[in-house]
Amino acid sequence: MRKICPQCGTVNYQNPVPSVAVIITDEQGRLLLTKRSVEPGKGLWCLPGGFIEMGETPMETVIRETMEETGLEIVPEYVIDAHAKINGFHGDVIIIGYFAHVTGGKLTAGDDAEEAGYFSVDDLPELAFRSHIRFIEKHFNIEIKTIDFGF
């Protein structure tokens, strides 16, 4: 059921919040992760990313969020996949997963990232979000065994 204005008939759509995440690897094939300094998943690791702002494309968001959280300049190359989290911490969220390569900057944790670093996909820390796990699994063609935190 959607809310409709009884006077003009305009539908008030309540849509999921759009967001992005990005897989970035270094020369050794290690995966860039950030340690969250905020909820949900505070203290756990995740891919760089965040919510799409008004007037911003998903690719612009990937570039901005990566710079804010890691200090790195990137060029997004392609979409890996898209996932949804229904009734989560921030309500319903759509997450678009990208792959990108670094073109400049210096790795420095910032914004809502407490730490940032590269990890071997064979030895990943605890990850905060199922959607990020799915992007990693699809990109690297692996299966990650992890605790289900429900984020």
User: What does DSSP say about strands 72-88 and 91-105: parallel, antiparallel, or unpaired?
Assistant: antiparallel
Query: What is the tens place of the pLDDT at every residue in 94-116?
Result: 999 999 999 999 999 988 889 99
- Give the C-alpha separation, 66 to 34, whole Å: 10
What tokens appear for 71 in the block? 């200090």
Query: What is the tens place of the pLDDT at every residue in 22-33?
Result: 999 999 999 999
Query: What is the tens place of the pLDDT at every residue in 35-77?
Result: 999 988 899 999 999 999 999 999 999 999 999 999 999 999 9
* Mean of all residue pLDDT scores within the chain: 91
> How far apart, in Å, are the Cα atoms of 104 and each of 61, 124, 151?
17, 25, 31
Sequence spans of domains, the chain: 15-140
Long-range contacts of 132-135 (CB under 8 A, 24+ apart): 132/21, 132/46, 132/47, 132/49, 132/95, 132/97, 134/81, 134/83, 134/97, 135/21, 135/23, 135/47, 135/80, 135/81, 135/83, 135/97
CATH architecture assigned to 15-140: Alpha-Beta Complex (3.90)
Q: Among residues 115, 126, 137, 143, which one is catalytic?
A: 115
Q: Is 65 a catalytic residue?
A: no
* pLDDT recorded at residue 2: 82
- Give the C-alpha separation, 79 to 139, whole Å: 10
* pLDDT recorded at residue 13: 83
